[in-house]
Chains A and B, each alone.
Chain A
Amino acid sequence: KAGVTQTPRYLIKTRGQQVTLSCSPISGHRSVSWYQQTPGQGLQFLFEYFSETQRNKGNFPGRFSGRQFSNSRSEMNVSTLELGDSALYLCASSKTGTDYEQYFGPGTRLTVT
């Protein structure tokens, strides 16, 4: 059974640009969550989607947005990139959306210059 996949794995962008990251959950999983990991702030929750609906959102500015498609794949978008957006972006999936166990992907390392 394939795990959670994220593309691209590495990305370099310039301040002011926008970026789209993709996450494919484990087959059959309907919930996808996104997290940002930085050395200073640690792991922080961005948002969660279940059956194409955003059910939960963390404390991030509106520049961070996401969506989920009917096949449960999810994308997150960051507009007007800032240097502080440099981070590892992780997505995690779970089957029913109420499971306590989440399966994380390898992440996308975003560097903003």
Chain B
Amino acid sequence: GQSLEQPSEVTAVEGAIVQINCTYQTSGFYGLSWYQQHDGGAPTFLSYNGLDGLEETGRFSSFLSRSDSYGYLLLQELQMKDSASYFCALNTGFQKLVFGTGTRLLVSP
């Protein structure tokens, strides 16, 4: 089967940088996505890595290493509004996303 592990919770202060790690086990996938979900809200797409390496989108960057079965999401210049849950997900074909366990990020002033 496929599984993804993430830390359950990460805390940081405003203005800081935080990294959320994601390790996975799978027999095959197309890429690794990251989604943000605020309490009571819908998941929203943040980033996608189809190839190994770093992808940068504004304050967010994501990294993938297929050889290490590992990826991470890097959030810079943290803001209070970044407090949310973050999910990594394997894109496995025909729009099927296999989601990780989720990481709750708490940003304090």
Contacts and interface: CB of A to CB of B under 8 A. Distances in A.
Contacts of B87: 43
Contacts of B81: none
A47 B98 CA distance: 12
B96 interface: yes
Contacts of A100: 30-31, 33, 48, 50, 91
Given A44-B99, A45-B96, A90 B31 contact: no
A41 to B, nearest CB: 10
B96 A90 contact: no
B95 A97 contact: yes
A55 B100 CA distance: 22
Nearest to B33: A100
B102 interface: yes
B75 to A, nearest CB: 19
Interface string B23-60: 00000001101010000011111001010000000000
A33 interface: yes
Given A43-B99, A44-B99, A104 B42 contact: yes
Given A100-B33, A100-B48, A55 B43 contact: no
B93 interface: yes
23 contacts: A31-B95, A33-B97, A42-B99, A42-B101, A43-B43, A43-B89, A43-B97, A48-B94, A48-B95, A50-B94, A55-B94, A56-B93, A56-B94, A56-B96, A92-B43, A94-B95, A100-B30, A100-B31, A100-B48, A101-B48, A103-B45, A106-B42, A107-B42
